[in-house]
Amino acid sequence: MKITRKEFDRIQHLKFLDIQQCSFCHRLNILNLGWKSFGKFYCRLHEAEYIVCWELCYKVCLNIWGCELYRKEKPVIQEPVKPNKPYDLTDCYLCFKELKGAGKTGKIKNRNNPGFWGIKSEWKVLCLSCLGKKYYQKLSGSKRKTFNKYLKRGYE
């Protein structure tokens, strides 16, 4: 097998090589170089497992020998990338304290929304301490009662 100097430089320091060999033509494939891997197949007709290169051997197995080839490997499913910051955390717009979001959606909870308290504000997310300092006098009687209940429960 011939490899270029650039490819040799990439693999010379590796301790283990991931190598495949075709079952029929005995051609080698070095997967560490990013080459397309050979297929792992199971033939129901001959009841044997084969590693087959794509160039000639695969076509010979199907057309000349009449093999019934089925994939032996399972398709690789990529897992979704996890975000750096958990999705259910939001920040208060005034003190920048992290607040817990609601469930799996990560939206802010009603108690952190000034509109829930009947307050029109340019800030969309406020913790209860900032809300109390800035807007407590503007709250109606029932909203003050609810606000104090949330504070006693220890909500932020």
Identify whether residues 97 and 148 lie together within a single domain. yes
Q: Is-contact 128 147, C-beta < 8 A?
A: yes
- Provide the residue range defining the domain that includes 99: 89-153
Give the phi and the psi of residue 37 in degrees, each rounded to 5. Answer: -75, 150
Identify whether residues 102 and 139 lie together within a single domain. yes
Q: What was the pLDDT predicted at 142?
A: 93
Sheet containing 48-52: give its strands across: 48-52, 39-43, 69-71
Identify whether residues 94 and 64 lie together within a single domain. no
Q: What was the pLDDT predicted at 14?
A: 73
**Domains held by the chain: number:** 2
User: Cα–Cα distance between 53 and 55 in angstroms, integer?
Assistant: 6
Domain membership of residue 33 (yes or no) is yes
List pLDDT tens digits, range 51-87. 777 666 666 666 555 666 656 556 566 666 555 555 5
User: Confidence class of residue 152 from pLDDT cuts 50, 70 and 90?
Assistant: very high
Identify whether residues 99 and 149 lie together within a single domain. yes
- Share above pLDDT 90 across residues of the chain, in percent, rounded to a whole number: 12
